A and B are shown apart, each in its own frame.
Chain A
């Protein structure tokens, strides 16, 4: 019986959650999203027009009440980065089995990664590239590479191979085509792949291995970026040796010594 913790129930997040939460092994979901469901979301979202004006988490709770009345849904109308919510979110994450990240901004992805590593939970992340030209599905397990390792690795690879390619991962970019939102079909395709990987974890988290850390699936050809549509690229990304997020500390500090060591350091650096 699985308990999922998911951040983001927007067009991508709701599409993946709807697929995963139909599995009878999923008995409980915790969802976090601070956004309102707006008229311009309707085109790409699962929710109907009649839900416009509601908070997305409340609309999602209602969605599941109609489709999976036995599913226990805990909804947080909150920003993952809001300091006021950290304690409550930590409490839910500690109780969850698997994380699903469908956040649309980098700080939230890093924060999600930090939470998942802190509580040693496996998690998945789906990213649809702007314009719907393709998307990524990432899979993370305790002790494996963190989101920082993966993001740095993939960014380096793109820069080395294609220094002048437009950045299709940047929705606010100056290049016009990169601002085109992804279609519901593109979002649905990547969400489907994301759901398949997540369901693999739901079935048997400790033994599941899709054979990649990150998978890129192209949906369209894009000049200087994707020469072919419907092609899969699989990346096995190791932990980065110098990753400031997940590398082992140079020296271990016991919990009870942290406060003393920190106040000594702050006193030292306060009088520089």
Chain B
């Protein structure tokens, strides 16, 4: 059972997620817009981000229990192995009970576009780490 198989999942998409994706895309260069696809009843967002000098292609999946569970974001562009990177180039972005507000997934306030912005922040950290060997943000506790 996927997000698209339930009425509440469809309603969340239609009334919350799709309007914010459309606002995100508005006036944005076509190369950087979010494209949305349905896959096995779930939703996949495909997009590109350029936090510094490099362009990264990413994919964010909204699984069946979204928004109770946070979206999963992975980078398609090959990365060097680094901190906060999980299997399959999935970004480690959320930590339950974290003392940092933006590291704690909050379904009552965050949308999938917040996850896209969090991925941008993660990639900006990655670029700094790539140059200096140091992750610029402290670990989420």
Does B associate with A? Answer: yes
Which residues of chain A have a CB within 8 Å of any CB of chain B?
Answer: 81, 83-84, 86-87, 105-108, 110-111, 114, 118, 146-149, 151-152, 155, 159, 167, 169-175, 240, 242-246, 249-251, 253, 255, 258-259, 261-262, 265-266, 269-272
A147 to B96, CA, bound (A): 15
| Contact B101–A244 (Cβ < 8 Å) | no
Residues in B95-141 with C-beta less than 8 Å from chain A: 96-99, 101, 104-111, 141
Interface pairs A-B: 6 shortest CB-CB: A148-B108, A170-B97, A110-B68, A269-B36, A111-B68, A249-B15
Main secondary structure of the interface of A (DSSP, over half): helix
Which residues of chain B have a CB within 8 Å of any CB of chain A?
Answer: 1-2, 4, 6-8, 10-11, 13-16, 18-19, 21-22, 25, 30, 33-38, 64-65, 67-70, 96-99, 101, 104-111, 141
A102 to chain B, nearest CB (A): 17
- Interface residue from B7, B22, B65 paired with A81 (Cβ < 8 Å): B65
A127 to B9, CA, bound (A): 28
List 12 extra interface pairs beyond A244-B107, A269-B22, A272-B33, CB under 8 A: A81-B69, A83-B1, A84-B1, A146-B108, A170-B98, A174-B141, A250-B15, A262-B10, A262-B14, A269-B25, A269-B36, A270-B35
- Interface residue from A81, A149, A250, A265 paired with B68 (Cβ < 8 Å): A81
Contacts of B21 in A (CB 8 A): 269
| Contact B2–A107 (Cβ < 8 Å) | no
A113 to chain B, nearest CB (A): 8
Contacts of B96 in A (CB 8 A): 105-107, 170, 172
A40 to B117, CA, bound (A): 41
Contacts of A270 in B (CB 8 A): 35-37
Contacts of B101 in A (CB 8 A): 155, 159
| Contact B2–A173 (Cβ < 8 Å) | no
Contacts of B97 in A (CB 8 A): 106, 167, 169-173
| Contact B111–A86 (Cβ < 8 Å) | no
> A155-B101, A244-B108, A244-B111 known; A107 and B11 CB under 8 Å?
no
| Contact A148–B106 (Cβ < 8 Å) | yes
A244 to B30, CA, bound (A): 28
B3 to chain A, nearest CB (A): 9
| Contact A110–B35 (Cβ < 8 Å) | no
A265 to B16, CA, bound (A): 12
- Interface residue from A111, A242, A272 paired with B34 (Cβ < 8 Å): A272
Contacts of A173 in B (CB 8 A): 97, 141
